[in-house]
Structure 1
Amino acid sequence: MIYPDNFEQKTGFDRIRAMIHSRMLCGLGVEQANRFSFSVDYNEISRRLGLAGEFMQLMSMDENIPLDNFFDVTDELSSIRIEGTYIDLHRLYDFYRSLTAVKSLLNFIKKLNPSGYPHLRNSAAGVNYFPVLLDCVGDILTAKGEIRDDASPELKRIRSAIRQAENDRASRLKNVLLSARRDGLIAPDVDLTMRNGRLVIPVERSAKHKIDGYVHDESLSGKTVFIEPSVVVEANNRLRELEFSESREIVRILLTVTDEIRPYIDDLFVTFGFLGLIDYLHGLSSFSKEINAVCPVLKNEPCGDWLNAVHPLLFLLHRNENKKVIPHSFQFNDDCRILLISGPNAGGKSVLLQLVALLQYMVQCGMPVPVSEGSVMGVFNSIFLAMGDEQSIDNDLSTYSSHLNHLSYFLKYSDKHTMILIDEFGAGTEPVLGGALAEAILEELNHSGCYGVITTHYSNLKQYAASVRGIMNAAMLFDTANLKPLYQLRIGEPGSSFAFEIAGQAGIPRNVLQRATEKVGKTNLEFERNIQDIIREKVQWEDLRQQAEREKEQAAQIRQRLAAELAHLKYQRKDIILKARNEADELLTQANRTIENTIRVIKESQAGKEKTKVARKQLSDQATQIRSHPHTDEQLEKRIKAVTEQNQQETATETFVAGDLVKISGQSVPGIIQSIRHGIAAIEMGHSILHVELSRLTHASPDDGPVVHSRKSSIDLLSVKMNFKPEIDLRGKRTNEAIELVQRLIDDAVMTGQPSLRILHGKGDGILRHMIREYLKTEKVIKKYYDESEQFGGAGITIIELDI
């Protein structure tokens, strides 16, 4: 149930629908769009979102979807149900082209991955493109939609006779024209022309009696008359009779073809309904892509976990003005069924309320919505909206009376499956009494178990929300330093109206504000000030918390690095001992061989004194080598200690923290570390932020050169955050180019804090996918990567999760 009747106009959905209609190809899509109205059927909504998601996936992959020759001929099909009627030639050609389009679409969908596009394949199942009718109509039409000469033997005979009659007429006219030129009745450059369907000769009025024939027309000045020579009248009459015969034969052919179509009319409506569905999905997907919409996770219960939701109309407006729209994230659950939003006027409360109404309505119509991937949206049986001024002179209805009528309806019909949206709750009457009544109504609505969003300025409602379960205070933030709204939503605390501050900025005299402060009362004033103090303190604590988190993360990185170094040293210790033992064993083995060989040589050769001396020298050298090798634990420990000291010297300068002055290997310009995350340092260098592995850094000193500080680095970072898109299309790219683009995408994701990325590389032979994944294995910041779900592209898309 939707309330009120003008819900679509109040939320702007009528404008959304019009934009989608404008992107369709014909009236079939518009008719289908009107059928996709608000639904409470979970399975139907899921089906619609599935269709939209699959079609958006096809469009994003630049598939050559056949979208030509969409024509709505359903009115003509309805008109030919009666025997003796026929479809005219022009619309028959449209009918033929539309069936050809259906054939192409069915063949296209048939080739799609069955597991990846189940909803589209199910929609195409059972749809017929009527090959018999295509052949029947194709046999009588040319490529330009004209009746073929051989559409029937009679038509072929008639057209042959027409061509002969035309030639005969032309020959006679040519003779008359040449005779008139010879006699000087017409100028040499005068030629035949057409008047009233007849070929005539332009002749000056003074000479009209000199050519035997019939005058069919004259010029505006009256100086020229157009004469049909009598010698060609008979030929023209014959030609006219043949043309009438041709028309009658064409009508007979169209009647025959229509008789072939008539038995299939009901089935043809199903076929053209499928064509309308594709047209609607094309228009919807085009619009969804324009507003960055996605298909949220749908649950068959009242709930919500909205991530970075954006008002689509506001997004389009600000895009044209090069402005950024602030996204909002919030939840609907047992602790926060109703969001009570307060804050300054023109701070964005009403826009946020309209956003919730619009997006919930859109998704229950089966439309993608502008939220982040992973957002969860539930299904509500009813959506009630009280927004705007509906006072009426005719009905003697004031603004407040209209507001109460809405609330009365809400109280009567709201339940745990209802979403309510109330703007400026309680406004329009005496504040004390209006506030009390609003609190009583809010209490009753909370007991009903409904969900929704309510905006207000009443302090008693904020206090009530803080004391009960199910209602959560929320604030639209305000820049107290510059007295400007920030349009940001903060959950868990009430907002201040900042009435006096805004009034002061608007030019209200200070003495007036002072008297107003005295009149408002100490209790109310202190409540507002306490709210403002809480907001300021929370901002400060949030800054401190984030700073502590950064420092904690840096400390964890240092501990992790030191632990890795210690593990490496332990490994080196074991390696040194093992190598030393292996070397000792090898030396002993070699020594034994040398001794045995020396003794054998002396015995066999009965060596003399010199040979014996040489052999003994070899044994002495071997013994010296054995004695010099570390064979005791003390000697091994000395070698280990030497290696450890060397490692400590090498790694002493490899521990980095934010604020260190460093240089990148191979570069001479120093920079300053801004942050470190998972072995990757963000370095301010000149006018940009670079992301570099710690292993490529060395400490620098001021003597290495000046550090260029620039505010532009923060501007560049902001620009990256504003323009960053967590996905990239690499199809058609060379491997080296693709990997470079992936590396750049990962760098930007680390810079902006984006936790996940989406890489479209296509399926093909799988070479590009393989090379990209081989590269991903080398990136330390990658937590994991995997194929997209089959519904949205499968192995043609890689999803990356970053460890940030």
Structure 2
Amino acid sequence: MRENQVDEKSIRTLGYGEVLSRLGRYASFSASARLAEMLRPGTDDETVRRNLARTTEARRLLSVNDAYRLGGCVDFRPALLTARKGGTIEAKAFVDIAATLAAARDVRNSLLAHADTYPLLAETVGEMIPPVGMIERIHRTVTERGDVLDSASDALASIRREIQVAYGRLLDRLQRLLRDARYAPMIQEAIITQRSGRYVIPIKAEYKNQLKSIVHDQSASGLTLFVEPLATVDLNNAYYELQLRERDEVIRILHELTMFLADYAEPLERVVERLAELDFIFMRAKYADAIRAVEPEIVPFAKGTNLPVIRLYEARHPLLPPERVVPIDVAVEPGIFSVVITGPNTGGKTVSLKTVGLMILMAQSGLHIPAQSGSALSVFQNVFADIGDEQSIEQSLSTFSGHMTNIIRILRSATAKTLVLIDELGSGTDPEEGAALARAILEYMIEKHIPNFVATHFSDLKAAAHATAGAINASMQFDLKTLRPTYRLIIGIPGRSNALMIAKRLGLAPSILESAERTVAPDSTSGADLLDEINRLHELARRARSQADRARSLAENERREWERRIEEVENEKERILNETYAETQSELASLRDEIARLKRAYVNARLPLDSIRELEGGVRAIREEEKKVEKAIGKTAAKTSRALLKDRPFRVGQKVRVLSLGSESLATLSALNGDDAEVQLGMIRLRIPVSSLRHPNQDDEDPVPARPPSEKAPSPVFHPSPGLELDLRGMNGEEVVAPLEKYLDDASLAGMPFVRIIHGKGTGKLRQAVRQILMSSPLVKMIERGKDAEGGEGVTVAVLRGD
């Protein structure tokens, strides 16, 4: 949503402003804090995806460097405005400018150096380039405390030397007066102080006419006068005049530096903007970590039906206390765009509506959402909400009039690309008329294909949702054993008010309850009982589905992680091949140069016959060597080409068949090195030719020839696996060194591609110690924070280097 599109009243109702307020607490400086205040949801799918991906990159960076922050940065754009207007920037402001530019330079260099790992963050700082020489010039002019240096100009250095001389003369004259015995009875205290910018001495008031002087001040009691002896007036004047000259020269220097900044105002503003944008990305990352959020998948509106996708797993309202919030699942089937939620008034319908709305607003703002992996959302052009009675309070209208005024406004703007959330549709008036009006509004939204979530207690709306294509009932679960709501949303089943049960829990007299139960129609009671049974069965199914979804999500995350790590290995392999090819080409060029040199020597030199024959022999030898190198290059290039073009290249970690062993048993491919491979068969590790490998379902084309009798079978090398995980919880930083280093050695020898180190969360000291050891180990290629399913911050994954 562009800022001019967003419905401010609705996002305020949903609590979006409070989310931004909490996000702003993670700002490093004011410019990024303002970005949080002004943040509004986007409406372009690709932009939303990139913003979410930037947040993900920042979280990955924080997982390996949780102390990363932009400290010491200041939004100095007001100072640039002063410069553009021809004013003069104060010296202290230059200190802040230099510190901010230095921070921008350092973080830019750091991210560009890791552009392969953090491409989106590197892109963000690409234009964050401080003007050349700017930081150095400020440092040559101003100290870190904000004082202009003597070396800023020759004139300033000269004036300050004169000031030192004048100051010395003035103090010397005043000290001689204080030491003079003739004046000792007059002196109140033998000190030199300042009043009105002049150096004075304190005398007793009764002696004011006995010492020729100028009175500048007196004590509160009137017993002490602070006077400037006439003998020091000229010295004070000279000192003061030099101070004025110094002030003028400092102003001139600062103004000259200000004009220098004004010439670079645009690139300097760009530095602040990019720095604020980068810090804003890290703010989103830190907030996501704090609320245990995930990156949702952004999916387009469904083709054909043009309907949105809303799939939330265990979504949690981000503003409720974590210990109180109850996660909800909202997985609407394809083709459904209207959800009618029913159930008891205290059951959590309003919170569910707000949770759905906030999840969408947060995702479209580049914020990760507090839900489980696998959650997916479409991008809406706007979100409208009529929840609570805020509108009636603002407009001094009745509850019904306030709601209806807001709903009319919403329906005028709502489209098939917007989302409408309405709480207690049709309430606040006569039940019969309210139900009829609510049904008509619901049918209008369904007819116009306006995606909506509606909470109600009217039975007519349940029937409408059941009978209308594109609509579905939902309910808030009620625990029949405890007679309390569970606050869980159940899609597909209408709810019941449970008014009698709630009244019983609240303590209504049994006699009244019995009378009410006799009044309720038997058909209604039996239908409610049937709904209760359906709800019970649905809860059992929900739990089973939830377990299956979590298992599937975990498996999918593991698959993606393996694919990413395999891709890294493939890229590294290709890089090594290319480097080898380039080195071989360089050697070949050197050989050709040597041949040319020998030919020139052969033609031009007048040499004895033996020397000529020796040269000819050298040429032939070099040509033979050249042919060998060219043949090797050809083979390498052909292998590289086949590796890149082959439909199914072998990848480290996959299952393979080893034909040379005459067995159909599957082994794990643990390493690839040119034409050689290493496979793991249980506890046995074998080195064999790649040509002996086949994919599990691959035909045995190009069968491997029988091994000659003289050829030895591959000799197995036993390297037992130490296991995928090492648990170091309960140890301190010194105790983990030996077992961790041994574990890394064993894992490397066993050919394991990665390992997990469990250190727990705690204070973070053990995590820091473990990661320091891992980062300094030559056996470790890179480290990452564990996935949520693996233990999150309590686990570090180390990717090991191959042989």
TM superposition score normalised by structure 1: 0.66
Partner of 1:454: 454
Partner of 1:736: 739
8 Å CA contact 1:415–1:449 kept in 2: the answer is yes
Q: Which moved more, 1:38-47 or 1:208-217?
A: 208-217
Partner of 2:136: 135
Kindly indicate whether residue 208 of structure 2 is the aligned counterpart of residue 205 of structure 1: no
Change (3 A) 1:732 1:165: farther
CA distance in 2 between counterparts of 1:433 and 1:402 reads 17
Structure 1 residue 252, shift from structure 2 partner: 0.9
Partner of 1:582: none
Partner of 2:98: 96
Q: Which amino acid aligns with 1:100?
A: A
Change (3 A) 1:426 1:760: farther
CA distance in 1 between counterparts of 2:135 and 2:443 reads 66
Change (3 A) 1:155 1:220: same
3-state SS of 1:139 partner? helix
8 Å CA contact 1:205–1:225 kept in 2: the answer is yes
8 Å CA contact 2:783–2:797 kept in 1: the answer is no
Structure 1 residue 222, shift from structure 2 partner: 0.8
Q: Which amino acid aligns with 1:81?
A: R
8 Å CA contact 1:127–1:274 kept in 2: the answer is yes
Matches within 5 A, 1:623-702: none
Match of 1:52 among 46, 52, 55: 55
CA distance in 1 between counterparts of 2:329 and 2:759 reads 25
3-state SS of 1:312 partner? coil
CA distance in 2 between counterparts of 1:294 and 1:181 reads 86
Change (3 A) 1:10 1:260: same
Partner of 1:173: 174
Deviations 1:717-764 (A, max 9, x none): xxxxxxxxxxxx999954735979x8896999xxxxxxxxxx999665
8 Å CA contact 1:180–1:186 kept in 2: the answer is no
CA distance in 2 between counterparts of 1:9 and 1:265 reads 37
Change (3 A) 1:493 1:274: same
Match of 2:312 among 306, 318, 338: 306
CA distance in 1 between counterparts of 2:436 and 2:228 reads 95
Partner of 2:76: 73
Kindly indicate whether residue 779 of structure 2 is the aligned counterpart of residue 767 of structure 1: yes
Partner of 2:487: 487
8 Å CA contact 2:127–2:274 kept in 1: the answer is no
Structure 1 residue 180, shift from structure 2 partner: 5.2
CA distance in 2 between counterparts of 1:151 and 1:770 reads 47
Change (3 A) 1:488 1:735: farther
CA distance in 1 between counterparts of 2:230 and 2:278 reads 60
Structure 1 residue 540, shift from structure 2 partner: 6.8
Matches within 5 A, 1:568-647: none
CA distance in 2 between counterparts of 1:544 and 1:367 reads 30
3-state SS of 2:203 partner? strand
Structure 1 residue 545, shift from structure 2 partner: 11
Q: Which amino acid aligns with 1:78?
A: L
Change (3 A) 1:33 1:284: same
8 Å CA contact 2:296–2:377 kept in 1: the answer is yes
Change (3 A) 1:181 1:518: farther
Partner of 1:352: 352
Partner of 1:16: 19
CA distance in 2 between counterparts of 1:771 and 1:361 reads 33
CA distance in 2 between counterparts of 1:770 and 1:737 reads 16
Deviations 1:196-243 (A, max 9, x none): 222222222123333332211111111111122222221111111001
3-state SS of 2:472 partner? strand
CA distance in 1 between counterparts of 2:264 and 2:735 reads 45
CA distance in 2 between counterparts of 1:760 and 1:336 reads 51
Structure 1 residue 451, shift from structure 2 partner: 2.7
8 Å CA contact 1:70–1:101 kept in 2: the answer is yes
CA distance in 2 between counterparts of 1:543 and 1:165 reads 88
8 Å CA contact 1:761–1:797 kept in 2: the answer is no
Change (3 A) 1:395 1:374: closer
3-state SS of 2:8 partner? coil
Structure 1 residue 175, shift from structure 2 partner: 0.4
Q: Which amino acid aligns with 1:305?
A: R
CA distance in 1 between counterparts of 2:242 and 2:212 reads 25
Change (3 A) 1:145 1:3: closer
8 Å CA contact 1:479–1:486 kept in 2: the answer is yes
- Which 5+ residue runs of structure 1 have no aligned equivalent? 548-728, 749-758, 777-783, 799-804
CA distance in 2 between counterparts of 1:541 and 1:145 reads 69
CA distance in 2 between counterparts of 1:106 and 1:54 reads 15
Matches within 5 A, 1:534-553: 534-536=534-536, 538-539=538-539
Structure 1 residue 182, shift from structure 2 partner: 6.9
Q: Which moved more, 1:11-20 or 1:205-214?
A: 205-214
Structure 1 residue 165, shift from structure 2 partner: 0.7
3-state SS of 1:380 partner? coil
CA distance in 1 between counterparts of 2:780 and 2:501 reads 59
Partner of 2:116: 115
Partner of 2:477: 477
Structure 1 residue 546, shift from structure 2 partner: 12
CA distance in 2 between counterparts of 1:107 and 1:63 reads 19
3-state SS of 1:512 partner? helix
TM superposition score normalised by structure 2: 0.66
Work out the percentage of aligned pairs sharing the same amino acid.
28
Q: Which moved more, 1:250-259 or 1:275-284?
A: 275-284
CA distance in 2 between counterparts of 1:57 and 1:771 reads 10
Partner of 2:369: 369
8 Å CA contact 1:32–1:273 kept in 2: the answer is no
3-state SS of 2:337 partner? strand
8 Å CA contact 1:212–1:229 kept in 2: the answer is yes
Change (3 A) 1:310 1:733: farther
- Which 5+ residue runs of structure 2 have no aligned equivalent? 302-307, 548-731, 745-754, 762-770
3-state SS of 2:273 partner? helix
3-state SS of 1:305 partner? strand
3-state SS of 1:384 partner? strand
Q: Which amino acid aligns with 2:397?
A: L
8 Å CA contact 2:391–2:406 kept in 1: the answer is no
Partner of 1:6: 9
Change (3 A) 1:539 1:101: closer
Deviations 1:525-549 (A, max 9, x none): 44333322332455578899999xx
CA distance in 2 between counterparts of 1:210 and 1:182 reads 9
8 Å CA contact 2:309–2:377 kept in 1: the answer is yes
Partner of 2:560: none
Partner of 1:717: none
CA distance in 1 between counterparts of 2:291 and 2:273 reads 27
Structure 1 residue 247, shift from structure 2 partner: 0.7
8 Å CA contact 1:762–1:797 kept in 2: the answer is no
Partner of 1:144: 145
CA distance in 2 between counterparts of 1:165 and 1:381 reads 73
Change (3 A) 1:745 1:249: closer
Partner of 1:125: 126
CA distance in 1 between counterparts of 2:130 and 2:391 reads 54
Q: Which moved more, 1:227-236 or 1:533-542?
A: 533-542
Q: Which moved more, 1:484-493 or 1:63-72?
A: 63-72
CA distance in 1 between counterparts of 2:154 and 2:175 reads 32
CA distance in 1 between counterparts of 2:374 and 2:400 reads 40
8 Å CA contact 1:65–1:105 kept in 2: the answer is no
8 Å CA contact 2:6–2:40 kept in 1: the answer is no
8 Å CA contact 2:127–2:270 kept in 1: the answer is no
8 Å CA contact 1:158–1:245 kept in 2: the answer is yes
Partner of 2:297: 297
Structure 1 residue 263, shift from structure 2 partner: 1.9
3-state SS of 2:535 partner? helix
